[in-house]
Amino acid sequence: MLDLASTYAFDSTESFAKASEEKVGAGYVYTRWANPTVDAFEAAVADLEGAQDAEAFASGMAAISTVLLAECSAGDRIVAARQLYGGTFELLSQTLPRYGIQTTFCDVADHASIEDALDGAKLLYCETIGNPRVQVADIPALAKLARAAGVPLLVDNTFASPVLCRPLEHGATASIHSATKFLGGHNDLIGGVVCAEPGVIERMRHIAREFGAVLSPFNAWLALRGIATIHLRVLRASESALLVAQALAEHPGVSAVFYPMLDGDPGRALAERLLGGYGGGMLAFDVAGGKEQAGRFQEELKVVQRAASLGGTRSLIVHAASVTHTQLDAEQLAAAGISEGFCRLSVGIEDPEDLITDLVEALDRAG
């Protein structure tokens, strides 16, 4: 059902006043407070994640910003994995400090450093599969560290999607998504969502209503359409991504390939255990020769498109340092494992042989 109304009429002044006071649960008043289509999307994602409740937002970054502001105040400190989406890294390192919220960054696999940093911290934040180096986080181990420190673990589950991982089942407090990506799946909407227990959601709900970064009904409807095929799309993309990663690993024009299910990848055991033996639809690789060579290679592509975002039906490629992680300086890029020739590839649902042919021929033509 698509309900595009922004405001709702009432039969009586009493029911209008009651609904306006309670905002949620006593009838629909104004779509910034609640909307039937958005509610349906929240319920669907909560069900996918095995969560009690969910709250939807205008974008993935709106979801991340709101949950952090709901859990932190001036004077608090966050511990976060260093391997994060560039926008999230900038939020934590540049924007939140202006409001008195600091962040300590640690390598997601350095559990000793994370444990030390959690002393006196407010929360722990990571991504199930790190953007863009696709490292798999050991969520059960991180959840154990968070519990010992008495803090929540917030996990951005966008790269994995609930098809491959449900972080709440592994001890996370909240699972966050950019609904723009695998949930929506068609590159035609912007949205975000957080799944958690009702207490966490209620704290977020107040901020969402006051700041106004709520999901539009039409985008909620588009995301519901995407959810109908998410299992088919994610599994297809994951199977194709492994084939593509294996082909790229054999090409002399590629100096390194990063994909959790490749033989020898340090994340393979975690992918087997946490992701059901899949590596997801995202992979990354270093083009030998650096930035200029990576640019020549991308310009030769015919099937794979040069575009931001991920998780859709079409395969998209970006040069990470120039597009998704421009917020990081050279030292921070190196610390995150992003080289000058580093490319992030979102594998779609095209024929994997077509993708492999396109990538290999582009590498060959680029020299």
Cβ neighbours of residue 205 closer than 8 Å, sequence gap 6 or more: 24, 55
d(CA 302, CA 298): 9
Strand bridging mode 282-287 / 123-127: unpaired
Q: Which of 82, 181, 233, 236 is catalytic?
A: 181
Residue 156: active-site member: yes
d(CA 126, CA 93): 14
- C-alpha gyration radius of the chain: 21
Residue 181: active-site member: yes
Q: Which of 23, 32, 209, 314 is catalytic?
A: 32
Neighbours of 264 (CB within 10 A): 6
Q: Are 362 and 297 in contact (CB under 8 A)?
A: yes
Q: Which of 3, 53, 138, 156 is catalytic?
A: 156
Residue 32: active-site member: yes
Burial of 359 (0-12, 13-18, 19+ CB in 10 A): buried
Tell me phi and psi for residue 25, to 5 degrees.
Answer: 100, -10
Helix (H) or strand (E) holding 272: helix 268-274
3-class DSSP assignment, residue 225: helix
Q: Residue 71's closest CA among 146, 182, 4, 178?
A: 146
Burial per residue of 17-50, b for 16 or more beta-carbon CB atoms within 10 angstroms, e otherwise: eebeeebeeeebbebbbbbbbbbbbbebbbebbe
Q: Which of 28, 85, 125, 259 is catalytic?
A: 85
Q: Which sequence positions are flagged as catalytic?
A: 32, 85, 156, 181
